[in-house]
């Protein structure tokens, strides 16, 4: 009501002043400047720039439903985190052994591996007040705003714990590399003030605090963090949350398929084997996409075929509507068959299916089935994988007389693995350091390795004309060739002893 009276009174006064012959120009100018200043400050307050309370308060979570049992795999990471959390629960043990409290836990690892889930499970495990924020929320162009938000964040969790009658509080900062990056020492940046305030708040955490505070942060770029943040007394415990191994992938898939109607042909262990390198988030997406495919078809249960389509979608992207010419389709089919034949010969049982239909950026692809998770590679293993990469281009050379741009990514992978052979001291150059050896020598050695493997790959593929012809007919008609059907064709041709790798 007051606003309406003000908006009506001001014009009336100005008109009355004009009637009296008073120059109202200065008053109008003053009013415009005042209105602009008020508008500017109101905008900043709306953005959280000058509020005494930070955005962090909007992210307070009284209780989370996530349990550690809901997180598949990561047994080592969960065990280390639980130990740090036990210090919040068993305060007497700290005093008995003279242990100072763990102030911070840093979770590092690739995106989608469950770092945020572990932080939420931690709050539930300890019955702590839980406040979450992202590193980007502390970044402002105005000096001091980020530091104020850090102070507000710590005050927020303490107030929340006191209101709920809880003895401890957990602060979770995701993407901490945004505010915790290395300081260059050249100039005082807003980021530096925010980081300094965070360090000060962490130094203020003591055993006698009530409620006791634990800071959990997550990043996938630990190498970018400032050393002052990483030292003992700040982030005391660094926990690596890695991509899940096969056993963990099975656990994750079982968790995400527990509420789904699965057909009898769904083999969770096989799906886990085919998804090497997938994160927990990707595995959840596979289970979800498989259910969506089943719903589209109106099927009562989710079948193994739905999971195969889901794995392809998560790995390669959605199917494309691009129409290729017959010649291009034939080239793509032979290219993929080249990969598949070499893969099956050097690693029997490794091909899950060969597909001609475009998906994502690929016009066709071979889905391989790693027989086991591998983290160390011998020279022989790397050479076999290089031959698989070269198989597509060599097949094009055999049947079309030349290569195409479709081999670019294959060559990049082959070059990378050939360089790995050289850098690991497994080439004819012996043990080398790239800084102390002529780049021409490295290039010549990599080129020699690749040329040798190209010839071995060519000899291997030239003995499989019958498989190329039979597989091409199936791909042309059905666009998909299963790994079992493909292996049946290969059984009819016994590889020459001298071609075996």
* Averaged pLDDT, 244-252: 90
pLDDT value at position 201? 85
**N-term to C-term CA, the chain:** 88
- Mean pLDDT to the nearest integer, 181-192: 66
Binned at pLDDT 50, 70 and 90, residue 501 comes out as very low
Half-sphere CA count of 301, side-chain side, radius 13 A: 9
pLDDT at 497: 46
Q: Please provide residue 429's backbone torsions phi and psi, each rounded to the nearest 5 degrees.
A: -75, -15
What tokens were used for 488? 């049946």
- The CATH architecture one would assign to domain 326-499 is Up-down Bundle (1.20)
Does 186 score more than 90 pLDDT?
Answer: no
Asked whether residue 289 carries a pLDDT value surpassing 80, the answer given is: yes
Segment 441-451, tens digit of pLDDT? 999 999 999 99
8 Å CB contact between 459 and 501? no
Specify the higher pLDDT residue, 35 or 97.
97
Sheet with strand 351-355: strands edge to edge: 365-368, 351-355, 480-482
Q: What is the DSSP string of 175-198?
A: SGGGTSBPP-SSS--HHHHHHHHH
Q: Could you give the CA distance from residue 412 to residue 395 in angstroms, rounded to a whole number?
A: 18
In the β-sheet with 60-61, what is the strand arrangement from edge to edge? 60-61, 129-134, 168-174, 212-219, 104-108, 235-240
Whether the pLDDT of residue 21 is over 50: the answer is: yes
DSSP structure class, residue 213: E
Q: Which residue has the higher pLDDT, 11 or 89?
A: 89
DSSP result, 320-389: P-PPPPHHHHHHHHHHHHHHHHHHHHHSTT-EEEEE-S-BTTBSSEEEE--SS--S---HHHHHHHHHHH
**Would you call 498 a catalytic residue per the annotation?**
no
pLDDT of 495: 58
Domain 246-316 has CATH 1.10.8.60: yes
Residue among 331, 333, 350, 312 nearest 479 (CA): 333
For 218-244, write each residue's pLDDT tens digit.
998 888 888 888 888 889 889 999 889
pLDDT-derived band at 51 (thresholds 50, 70, 90) equals: very low
Mean pLDDT to the nearest integer, 350-371: 81
State the residue for tokens 């096969």. Answer: 246
Q: Is pLDDT of 144 > 70?
A: no
Has residue 284 got a pLDDT over 90?
A: yes
Q: According to the per-residue pLDDT averaged within each range, which of 36-40, 59-63, 176-180 is highest? A: 176-180
Predicted pLDDT at 290: 95
pLDDT level of residue 11 (50, 70, 90 thresholds) = low
Question: What integer is the mean pLDDT of 50-59?
Answer: 40
- How much is the average pLDDT of 407-416? 92
Dihedral sign (CA 239, 243, 245, 248): positive
Q: What is the mean pLDDT of residues 83-106?
A: 80
Please tell me which residue, 6 or 297, carries the higher pLDDT value: 297
Quick one: pLDDT at residue 13? 65
237 versus 370: which is more confidently predicted?
237
Tens-place pLDDT, residues 127-140: 888 888 888 777 76
Residue 359's pLDDT is what? 78
Of these residues, 156, 190, 336, 445, which one is catalytic?
336
* Overall average pLDDT of the 73-79 stretch: 88
d(CA 18, CA 462) in angstroms, rounded, equals 99
d(CA 171, CA 478): 54
What is the percent of the chain with per-residue pLDDT over 70, rounded to a whole number?
A: 82
Instruction: Point out the least confidently predicted range of 80-89, 270-279, 339-348.
Output: 80-89
Residues of 110-149 as b/e, b for ≥16 C-beta within 10 angstroms? eebbbbbbbbbbbbbbbebbbbbbbbebbebeeeebbbbb
DSSP letter assigned to residue 304: H
pLDDT of residue 140: 60
Contacts for 65 with CB less than 8 Å, ≥ 6 apart: 124
pLDDT, mean of residues 3-10: 58
Query: Parallel, antiparallel, or unpaired for β 365-368 and 351-355?
Result: antiparallel
Domain boundaries, the chain: 2-46, 55-240, 246-316, 326-499
CA atoms within 13 A on the CB side of 136: 0
Average pLDDT of span 355-359: 82
Please name the helix (run of DSSP H) or strand (run of DSSP E) that holds residue 174, with its range, or none. strand 168-174
* Per-residue pLDDT band at 56 (split at 50, 70, 90): very low
Please, what CATH class does the domain formed by 55-240 belong to? alpha beta
Q: What percent of the chain has pLDDT over 90?
A: 29
Residue whose structure tokens are 């800084």: 435
Q: Per the structure block, which two tokens stand in for 358?
A: 């475009």
- Which residues, at least 6 apart from 102, have a Cβ–Cβ distance to it below 8 Å? 84, 87, 214, 236, 237
Find the mean pLDDT for residues 406-417.
Answer: 92
- Of 11-25, 250-264, 379-393, minimum mean pLDDT range: 11-25
Q: Predicted confidence band at 61 (pLDDT cuts at 50, 70, 90)?
A: very low
Q: Give residue 356's pLDDT.
A: 85
Please, what is the average pLDDT of the chain? Answer: 82
Q: How confident is the model at residue 387 (pLDDT cuts 50, 70, 90)?
A: very high
Report the C-alpha gap between 339 and 324 in whole angstroms. Answer: 20
> pLDDT category, 191, cuts 50, 70, 90?
low
The residue ranking higher by pLDDT, 276 or 44, is 276
Residue 185 pLDDT: 61
Half-sphere exposure of 72 (CA within 13 A, CB side): 25
- pLDDT at res. 277: 86
pLDDT of residue 331: 92
CB 436 within 8 A of CB 442: no
């Amino acid at each position: 009501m007051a606003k309406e009276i003000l908006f009506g009174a001001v014009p009336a006064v100005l008109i009355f002043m004009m009637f009296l012959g008073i120059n109202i120009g200065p008053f109008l100018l003053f009013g415009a400047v005042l209105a602009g200043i008020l508008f500017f400050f109101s905008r900043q307050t709306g953005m959280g720039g000058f509020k005494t309370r930070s955005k962090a308060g909007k992210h307070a979570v009284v209780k989370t439903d996530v349990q550690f049992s809901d997180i598949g795999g990561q047994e080592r990471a969960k065990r280390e985190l639980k130990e740090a959390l036990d210090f919040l629960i068993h305060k007497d043990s700290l005093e008995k052994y003279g242990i100072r409290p763990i102030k911070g836990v840093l979770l590092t690892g690739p995106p989608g591996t469950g770092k945020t889930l572990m932080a939420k499970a931690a709050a539930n495990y300890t019955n702590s007040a839980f406040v979450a924020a992202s590193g980007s929320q502390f970044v402002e162009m105005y000096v001091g705003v980020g530091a104020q938000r850090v102070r507000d964040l710590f005050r927020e969790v303490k107030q929340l714990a006191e209101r709920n009658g809880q003895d401890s509080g957990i602060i979770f900062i995701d993407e901490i590399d945004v505010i915790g990056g290395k300081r260059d020492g050249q100039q005082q940046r807003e980021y530096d003030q925010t980081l300094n305030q965070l360090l000060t708040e962490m130094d203020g955490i003591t055993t006698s605090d009530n409620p006791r505070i634990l800071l959990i942060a997550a990043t996938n770029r630990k190498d970018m963090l400032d050393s002052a943040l990483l030292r003992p007394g700040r982030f005391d415990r660094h926990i690596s949350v890695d991509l899940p191994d096969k056993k963990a992938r099975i656990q994750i898939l079982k968790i995400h398929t527990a509420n789904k109607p699965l057909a009898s042909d769904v083999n969770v262990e096989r799906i886990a084997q085919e998804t090497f390198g997938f994160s927990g988030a990707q595995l959840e997406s596979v289970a979800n996409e498989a259910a969506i495919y089943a719903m589209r078809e109106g099927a009562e249960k989710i079948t193994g075929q739905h999971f195969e389509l889901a794995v392809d979608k998560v790995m390669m992207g959605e199917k494309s509507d691009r129409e290729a010419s017959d010649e291009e389709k034939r080239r793509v089919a032979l290219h993929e068959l080249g990969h598949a034949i070499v893969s099956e010969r050097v690693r029997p049982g490794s091909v899950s299916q060969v597909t001609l239909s475009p998906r994502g950026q690929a016009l066709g692809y071979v889905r391989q089935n790693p027989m086991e998770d591998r983290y160390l590679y011998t020279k022989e293993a790397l050479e076999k994988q290089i031959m698989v990469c070269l198989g597509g281009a060599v097949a094009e050379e055999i049947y079309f007389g030349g290569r195409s741009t479709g081999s670019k990514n294959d060559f990049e992978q082959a070059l990378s693995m050939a360089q790995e052979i050289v850098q690991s001291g497994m080439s004819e150059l012996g043990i080398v350091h790239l800084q102390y050896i002529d780049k021409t020598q490295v290039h010549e050695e990599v080129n020699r390795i690749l040329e040798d493997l190209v010839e071995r790959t060519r000899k291997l593929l030239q003995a499989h004309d019958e498989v190329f012809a039979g597989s091409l007919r199936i791909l042309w008609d059905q666009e998909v060739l299963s790994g079992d059907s493909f292996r049946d064709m290969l059984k009819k041709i016994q590889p020459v002893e001298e071609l075996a790798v």
